[in-house]
């Protein structure tokens, strides 16, 4: 209720700009046996005012009164106060009935005697434009006297301009203090008693609207939402809002694409991963390193989903750019705390990249150029309102630049990447939708004609969604993801070789959502995944090569998982999401499994037996029940506490012998010897909003245990290692952290400030002292950065010009330093400390960007935007890596900074 | 690999990256024993060098460990004690000790306070070197004088028996060096300078069908950066058979020497070899007891057929007029020069007047082996 009126009031203040003081209007006349509605119609026709009210409140009022030069305010008081109905008169000509709530005027510090009041917001707080629909009453079903029983309202929410689904939009019904949210496909369903309701529909980046609904029978209501064209208020990170209606997931962060596009992150390129790194609890090893770390998890523990298929390599250029073009994204959601039961397979987080469907109404597109890449995206209807397509591409032009340079070495070098997306969405009928999506990315580089490195991601997905009944929604999808790299070296003829690694993943998913009544929303389904991994293969390149072709035996596995969860609205202020996921994993043949003597560290010499498993035979089976629980308790209308507990399992692991992901790292599956990684996290969060909901405060704390992290024994070879299990040590980790965040979502000035204190300590878990790292003592993981401060500050000067800045500070990552030097065989050799005993200097960086929009006319042919940005404005030489060289018998340490000075860049984008 | 990519990328990003010196703060330094021990089937080459580590930012030679008792024991139980020839440098008596391939050896050290030993290590038979050869490169594309003359020296080897799968190579270069001036004493004008390899050159042939080491690059020489080829140059390459374990050791040392610590470099680790303390098993001991049989091969390069040009040497003379010109007296010597029967007293750098500062003025015995 409060919110509804609040919104209405704001709306009214801006809708018309009637002149004159409404309160000074005088009424004269006799009113006999008329309803309030008739009275309202009268004053609307005689004066330039409009009256807004809920017919339910005033239906019993019968007016029998005479006025002689009575002020409008006093007339309304005489009519309404006896019935306990408050109202508010706006100077621009609106009379708003506020029911039992009184309006508190700004500047009035004394609380009114009535504990229930609403704040009248400042005029410039939020700009909303109403559509006519707001004043219409939508009737669902035929009016009937039998108002007993529950009915279901369901439908899709769409973007009114593009026809694309609106995801995560809240549909809140004031009268029953509950609501629902649209799912990934923009579908919602809510079962509630028949009656008259006010539904508030709000979503990140969309204008909030209110619908009056008289619900008499089960029916559908599709809702079109308009985009908030002005980026005021778009830098909202969660869909919380002050009302307090929230789904119960703690640690869910959402970013919409406009936030990402506003923030200066790369070389003038909006970048999803770099923006994600600004969220509390998310860290990277260093500037320009691939992957990210969520709450103490390693980078292979994040499930990055595009079109519901996992992305195995989320970056280009080793991490300088995200693998997914931001042109195709509508928003991203990062689950770092409570992970819903429908997601599985990774233990730290889920980063769901929600792609655009393509505009169903008209052709549109964006394109642009930045110092590194050029990109173009087009979308449009094939059949208007039913079928849409989207095509996007992005590519570097660095190879062209390299050829222009007058340097023989650089001329023979190649470096570049491209990625491309395709999507087709077709509405077969109201109940059935079909989606086809594809993604391909390629990176390659070669320095001076020597070794060519190339790597590729390929994703294809087909999805059918079906509405069985208003209460049952289902999606069946077939997803495929492939990642491979190929290194070819032809420097020496007899040694010419190629080296390949390939991971091939296919799954079929059937997910259902059942909305039995407004207190429950059940999700259940099954995922069946099939993995095929080629850990490594070497082959001769060229006829004179003496290299023996050989391949490490392929790994095969089938992983069926089942899940069920229920979002229970237990009390009006208590929401519980409880679920269980049963993950199973079958490592299957053909495979040869070595059996090692249990009393010795695994090595080639401790093999006692070899077992061969034929095709399809199960060599090892893992069955892991994973519990997922989230509780959301509303303390008051402005504050809530959320608790979450989850445990997770992971059967695929990225193995690296370097501090950060490198492109030659390989993925391997769990098998007889490589145990699944297990995660367990408990988290608590407290959220509150202040100052008319414009300021949100949150504190989240977590404790996490990770088992069976895979660490590589130093010096062992990663590539073509037949007995990988002999070179692996398992680590167990403990992570904990506290995340503070203050966020202002609305207004010209918005952004957030977050501070995180966290730690991740790991220790080797092996019964054999010779396998222990640091003699079995705990040590910080490579990405342990205890203090992390982030400030995102945006200021909108006008609709055309906005300024954005980000500042990050964090403790330096741990490093292993040389502690002694000695001469050996004529060489100066360094003796290193135990693992990660030292830290590199602290990290600090300020980036700024200024965005200028070419023109404000929304109907213009092309809409262009220029972005000027400066990375590392302060010119601080942040350490990217530290290394040591022996020069003239002295060991010198050097630090490499990637962005050692301010880097200005300009990028240009256009929309049509 | 990353080291190439990062500059490439930062080049694209308008060369914003930079490399600056950085000295980390390390506290709690401790001395660790370092053992450098080489046992071969050659005459004369068995030695054990004992020293302690030094802090990273201190230059110079590690301090030797003197007065240790060291012996080598073979699998027949025969022990040979080493004697300390120089401080920290212990050798076997070549007259009554000769290691042979096929036997296993073990090293024991006692420093007085602690005892150390290695396991038995078999000396593997090494095949002969197939060839040591060079490839020549000439370039005058750039306008720099002199034109580039470069020699890349390679090695080929082959084991018909396919037994020796891991190799390590070392080499010793000798080159003739002439001072530019004919100042007396003339006996110190021509010298033979000896340099030993410091790079770790190893090869693992276990992935190949047959042991065939093809074009193993040993050293690159060019006339712009080095004087080695001006007159005559010789390289003697030694091929060592090493165990798989020793290969792994050198491979690790190689990985952590040079540049390391970058994000894409292997995470450095303390590398310990095959020497353990029997007094305190938790004590760190660095270094390696290397047991190998050796074959060698020599190559000569004489600058008389191609007649490479060299840039001028940096030695200059100064006519001594006033004492003010005598900069750094200790490094200058004064000679009487005669031009057109007029005598001048000139000062030149000591290193331009006495080549024995770098090498020996005695011609090596093998120096004319190539023309015999």
Residues in chain A: 912
Taking the domains of chain A in order of start, what are their residue ranges? 2-119, 132-225, 252-350, 351-911
A802's tokens: 């906005």
Q: Contact B34/A822, CB-based, under 8 Å? A: yes
Q: What is the C-alpha to C-alpha distance for residues A237 and A256, in angstroms, rounded to an integer? A: 8
Spell out the CATH class of A351-911: mainly beta
Q: Contact A831/B53, CB-based, under 8 Å? A: yes
The residue-averaged pLDDT of B141-168 equals: 84
Q: Is the peptide bond before B185 cis (omega within 30 degrees of 0)?
A: yes
Residue A187 near residue A433, CB atoms below 8 Å = no
Choose among B329, B96, B64, B266: nearest CA to A727.
B266
User: SS3 string of chain B?
Assistant: CHHHHHHHHHHHCCCCCEEEECCCCCCCCCCCEEEEEEEECCCCCCEEEEEECECCCCCCCCCECCCCEEEEEECCCCEEECEEEECCEEECCCCCCCCCCCCEEEEEEECCCCEEECCCEECCCCCCEEEEEEEEEEECCCCCCCCEEEEEEEEEEEECCCCCCEEEEEEEEEEEEECCCCCCCHHHCEEEEEEECCCCEEEECCCECCEEEEEEEEEEEECCCCCCCCCEEEEEEEEEECCHHHHHHHHHHHHHCCCCCCCCCECCCCCCCCCEECCCCCCCEEEEEEEECEEEEEEEEECCCCCCCCCCCCCCCEECCCHHHCCCHHHEEEEEEEECCEEEEEEEEHHHCCHHHCCECCCCCCCCHHHC
Distances (CA, A) of A441 to A79, A418, A444, A483, B1: 69, 6, 10, 9, 21
Residues of A within 8 A of B257 (CB-CB) are 827-830, 886
Residues of A within 8 A of B11 (CB-CB) are 410
In terms of CA atoms, which chain B residue is nearest residue A660? B263
Q: What is the pLDDT of residue A235?
A: 32
Q: Contact A823/B61, CB-based, under 8 Å? A: yes
Q: Contact A877/B20, CB-based, under 8 Å? A: yes
**Mean pLDDT of successive 10-residue segments in chain A (912 residues)?**
32 35 72 83 75 74 84 84 77 69 52 39 34 60 74 84 80 76 82 81 76 80 73 34 45 74 70 84 77 87 91 82 86 86 91 88 88 88 90 85 66 81 91 92 77 88 90 92 88 77 94 86 93 89 79 91 90 87 92 86 78 90 93 84 91 79 80 91 88 81 92 70 83 92 82 92 84 84 90 85 89 86 80 85 89 66 81 84 71 78 84 83
* pLDDT tier, B187 (very low <50, low <70, confident <90, very high otherwise): low
Q: Contact B17/A895, CB-based, under 8 Å? A: no
Q: Which SS3 state, helix, strand or coil, does residue A43 take?
A: helix
Query: Could you report how far apart the first and last alpha carbons of chain A are, in Å?
Result: 40
Strand partners, B199: none
CB-closest option in A664, A820, A897 to B54: A820
- Between A and B, how many residue pairs show a Cβ–Cβ distance under 8 A? 246
Indicate which of A291, A830, A841, A869 best probes the interface with B, i.e. most B CBs within 10 Å of its own CB. A830
Domains A2-119 and A351-911 share a fold: no
H or E element that contains A5: helix A2-15
Choose among A782, A441, A496, A488: nearest CA to A664.
A488
Which residues have C-beta within 8 Å of that of residue A74, sequence separation ≥ 6?
A: none
Options 3.40.462.40, 3.40.50.1860, 2.60.40.1120, 3.40.50.410; CATH of A132-225: 2.60.40.1120
Q: Contact B5/A398, CB-based, under 8 Å? A: no
Indicate which of A288, A453, A769, A819 best probes the interface with B, i.e. most B CBs within 10 Å of its own CB. A819
In terms of CA atoms, which chain A residue is nearest residue B17? A898
Distances (CA, A) of A302 to A350, A626, A649: 6, 17, 12
Residues of A within 8 A of B34 (CB-CB) are 822-824
Residues of A within 8 A of B18 (CB-CB) are 877, 896-897, 900-901
In terms of CA atoms, which chain A residue is nearest residue B62? A822
Residues of A within 8 A of B259 (CB-CB) are 883-885, 894
Choose among A290, A285, A289, A423: nearest CA to A353.
A423
Q: What confidence tens digit (pLDDT) does each residue in B86-137 have?
A: 899 999 887 778 888 899 999 999 998 899 999 999 999 999 999 999 998 8
Q: What share of chain A is helix, strand, coil (3-state, %, to 5)?
A: 10, 55, 35
Q: Contact B261/A881, CB-based, under 8 Å? A: yes
C-beta atoms surrounding A71 within 10 Å = 16
Q: Can you say whether the dihedral through the CA atoms of A14, A18, A19, A20 is positive or negative? A: negative
Q: What's the longest Cα–Cα distance across chain B?
A: 75
Q: What is the pLDDT of residue A623?
A: 94
Q: Contact B263/A658, CB-based, under 8 Å? A: yes
ipTM of the predicted structure?
0.80
Residues of A within 8 A of B17 (CB-CB) are 880, 896-900
CB-closest option in A415, A494, A827 to B198: A827
Q: What is the C-alpha to C-alpha distance for residues B356 and B368, in angstroms, rounded to an integer? A: 21
Per-residue pLDDT for B348 more than 70?
no
Half-sphere exposure of B276 (CA within 13 A, CB side): 8
Q: Which residue has the tokens 């450095």?
A: B268
Q: What is the pLDDT of residue A124?
A: 33
Per-residue pLDDT for B194 more than 60?
yes
Assigned CATH for A2-119: 3.55.50.30
Indicate which of A883, A898, A906 best probes the interface with B, i.e. most B CBs within 10 Å of its own CB. A883
* pLDDT tier, B153 (very low <50, low <70, confident <90, very high otherwise): very high
Q: What is the C-alpha to C-alpha distance for residues A762 and A781, in angstroms, rounded to an integer? A: 6
Rg (CA), chain A: 31
């Amino acid at each position: 209720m409060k919110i509804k009126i609040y919104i209405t009031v704001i709306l009214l203040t801006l809708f018309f700009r009637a002149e004159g003081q409404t309160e000074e209007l005088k009424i004269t006349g006799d009113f006999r046996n008329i309803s309030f509605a008739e009275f309202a119609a009268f004053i609307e026709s005689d004066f330039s005012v409009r009256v807004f009210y809920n017919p339910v409140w005033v239906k019993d009022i019968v007016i029998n009164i005479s006025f002689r030069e009575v002020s409008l305010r006093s007339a309304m008081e005489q009519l309404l106060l006896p019935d306990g109905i408050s109202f508010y008169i706006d100077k621009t000509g609106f009379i708003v009935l506020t029911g039992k709530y009184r309006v508190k005027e700004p500047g009035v510090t004394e609380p009114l005697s009535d504990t229930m009041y609403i704040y009248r917001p400042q005029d410039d707080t939020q700009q909303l434009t109403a559509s006519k629909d707001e004043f219409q009453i939508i009737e669902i079903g035929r009016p009937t006297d039998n108002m007993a029983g529950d009915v279901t309202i369901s439908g899709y929410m769409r973007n009114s301009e593009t026809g694309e689904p609106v995801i995560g939009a809240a549909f809140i019904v004031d009268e029953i203090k509950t609501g629902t949210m649209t799912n990934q496909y923009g579908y919602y369903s809510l079962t509630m008693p028949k009656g008259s309701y006010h539904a508030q529909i709000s979503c990140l980046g969309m204008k909030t609207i209110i619908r009056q609904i008289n619900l008499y029978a089960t029916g559908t209501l599709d809702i079109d939402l308009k985009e908030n064209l002005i980026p005021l208020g778009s830098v909202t990170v969660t869909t919380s809002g002050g009302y307090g209606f929230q789904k119960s997931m703690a640690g869910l962060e959402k970013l919409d694409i406009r936030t990402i596009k506003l923030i200066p992150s790369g070389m003038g390129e909006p970048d999803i991963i770099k923006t994600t790194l600004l969220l509390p609890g998310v860290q990277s090893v260093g500037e320009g390193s691939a992957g990210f770390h969520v709450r103490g998890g390693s980078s292979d523990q994040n499930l990055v989903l595009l079109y519901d298929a996992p992305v195995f390599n989320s970056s280009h250029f080793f991490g300088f750019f995200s693998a997914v073009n931001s042109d195709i994204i509508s928003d991203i959601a990062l689950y770092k705390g409570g992970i819903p039961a429908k997601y599985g397979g990774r233990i730290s987080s889920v980063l769901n990249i929600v792609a655009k469907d393509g505009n169903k109404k008209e052709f549109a597109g964006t394109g642009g150029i930045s110092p590194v890449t050029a990109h173009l995206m087009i979308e449009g209807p094939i059949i208007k309102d039913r079928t849409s397509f989207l095509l996007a591409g992005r590519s570097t032009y660095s190879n062209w630049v390299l050829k222009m340079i007058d340097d023989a070495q650089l001329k023979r070098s190649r470096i570049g990447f491209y990625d491309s997306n395709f999507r087709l969405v077709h509405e077969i009928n109201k109940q059935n939708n079909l989606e086809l999506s594809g993604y391909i990315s390629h990176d390659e580089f070669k320095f001076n004609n020597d070794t060519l490195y190339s790597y590729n991601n390929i994703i294809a997905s087909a999805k059918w969604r079906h509405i069985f009944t208003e209460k049952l929604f289902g999606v069946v999808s077939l997803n495929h993801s492939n990642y491979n790299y190929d290194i070819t070296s032809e420097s020496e003829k007899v040694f010419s070789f190629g080296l390949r690694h390939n991971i091939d993943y296919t799954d079929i998913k059937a997910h259902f959502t059942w909305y039995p009544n407004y207190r429950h929303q059940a999700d259940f389904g099954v995922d069946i995944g099939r993995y095929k991994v080629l850990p490594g293969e070497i082959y001769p390149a060229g006829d004179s090569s003496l290299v023996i072709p050989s391949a490490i035996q392929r790994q095969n596995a089938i992983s069926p998982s089942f899940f069920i969860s229920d979002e229970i609205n237990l009390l009006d202020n208590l929401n519980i999401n409880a679920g269980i996921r049963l993950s199973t994993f079958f490592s299957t043949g053909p495979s040869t499994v070595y059996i090692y003597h249990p009393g010795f560290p695994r090595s080639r010499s401790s093999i006692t037996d070899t077992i061969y498993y034929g095709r399809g035979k199960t060599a090892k089976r893992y069955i892991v029940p994973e519990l997922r629980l989230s509780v959301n308790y509303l303390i008051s209308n402005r504050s809530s506490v959320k608790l979450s507990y989850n445990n997770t399992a992971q059967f695929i692991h990225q193995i690296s012998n370097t501090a950060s992901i490198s492109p030659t790292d390989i993925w391997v599956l769990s098998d007889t010897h490589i145990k699944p990684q297990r995660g367990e996290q408990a988290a608590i969060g407290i959220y509150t909003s202040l100052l008319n909901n414009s300021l949100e405060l949150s504190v989240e704390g977590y404790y996490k245990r990770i088992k069976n992290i895979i660490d590589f024994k130093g010096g062992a070879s990663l590539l073509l290692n037949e007995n990988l299990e002999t070179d692996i040590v398992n680590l167990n980790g403990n992570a904990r952290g506290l995340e503070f965040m203050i966020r202002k979502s609305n207004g010209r000035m918005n952004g957030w400030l977050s501070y995180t204190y966290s730690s991740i300590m790991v220790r080797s878990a092996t019964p054999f002292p010779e396998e222990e790292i640091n003699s079995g003592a705990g040590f910080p993981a490579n990405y342990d950065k205890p203090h992390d401060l982030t400030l995102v500050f945006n200021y909108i000067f006008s609709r055309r010009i906005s300024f954005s800045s980000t500042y990050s500070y964090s403790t330096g990552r741990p490093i292993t330093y040389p502690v002694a030097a000695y001469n050996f065989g004529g060489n100066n050799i360094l003796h290193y400390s135990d693992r990660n005993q030292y830290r590199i200097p602290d990290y600090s960086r300020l980036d700024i960007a200024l965005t200028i929009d070419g023109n404000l006319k929304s109907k213009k042919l092309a809409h262009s935007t220029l972005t000027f940005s400066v990375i590392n404005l302060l010119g601080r030489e942040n350490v990217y890596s530290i290394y040591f060289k022996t020069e003239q018998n002295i060991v010198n340490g050097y630090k490499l900074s990637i962005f050692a000075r301010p880097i200005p860049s300009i990028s240009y984008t256009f929309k049509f | 690999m990353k080291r190439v990519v990062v500059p490439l990328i930062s080049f694209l990003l308008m060369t914003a990256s930079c490399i600056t010196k950085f000295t980390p703060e390390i506290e709690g330094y401790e001395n660790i024993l370092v053992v450098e021990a080489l046992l071969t089937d050659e005459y004369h080459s068995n030695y054990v060098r004992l020293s302690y580590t030094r802090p990273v930012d201190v230059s110079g030679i590690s301090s030797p460990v003197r007065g240790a008792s060291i012996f080598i024991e073979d699998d027949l139980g025969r022990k040979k004690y080493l004697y300390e020839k120089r401080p920290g440098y212990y050798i076997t008596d070549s007259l009554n000790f000769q290691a042979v391939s096929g036997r296993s050896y073990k090293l024991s050290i006692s420093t007085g306070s602690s005892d150390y030993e290695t396991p038995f290590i078999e000396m593997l038979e090494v095949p002969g070197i197939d060839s040591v050869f060079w490839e020549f490169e000439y370039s005058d594309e750039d306008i720099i004088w002199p034109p580039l003359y470069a020699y890349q020296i390679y090695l080929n080897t082959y084991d018909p028996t396919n037994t020796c799968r891991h190799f390590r190579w070392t080499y010793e270069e000798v080159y003739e060096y002439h001072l530019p001036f004919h100042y007396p004493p003339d006996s110190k004008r021509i010298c033979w300078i000896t340099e030993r390899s410091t790079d770790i050159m190893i090869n693992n042939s276990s992935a190949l069908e047959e042991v065939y080491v093809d074009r193993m690059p040993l050293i690159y020489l060019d006339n712009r950066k080095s004087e080695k080829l001006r007159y005559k140059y010789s390289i003697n390459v030694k091929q060592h058979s090493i165990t798989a374990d020793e290969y792994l050791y050198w491979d690790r040392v190689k990985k952590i020497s040079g540049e390391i610590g970058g994000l894409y470099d292997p995470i450095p680790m303390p590398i310990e070899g095959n020497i353990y303390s029997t007094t305190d098993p938790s004590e760190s001991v660095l270094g390696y007891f290397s047991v190998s049989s050796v074959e060698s091969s020599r190559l000569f390069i004489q600058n008389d057929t191609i007649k490479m040009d060299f840039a001028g040497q940096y030695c200059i003379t100064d006519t001594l007029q006033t004492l003010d010109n005598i900069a750094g007296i200790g490094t200058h010597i004064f000679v009487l020069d005669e031009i057109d029967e007029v005598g001048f007293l000139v000062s030149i750098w000591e290193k331009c007047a006495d080549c024995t500062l770098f090498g020996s003025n005695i011609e090596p015995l093998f120096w004319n082996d190539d023309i015999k």
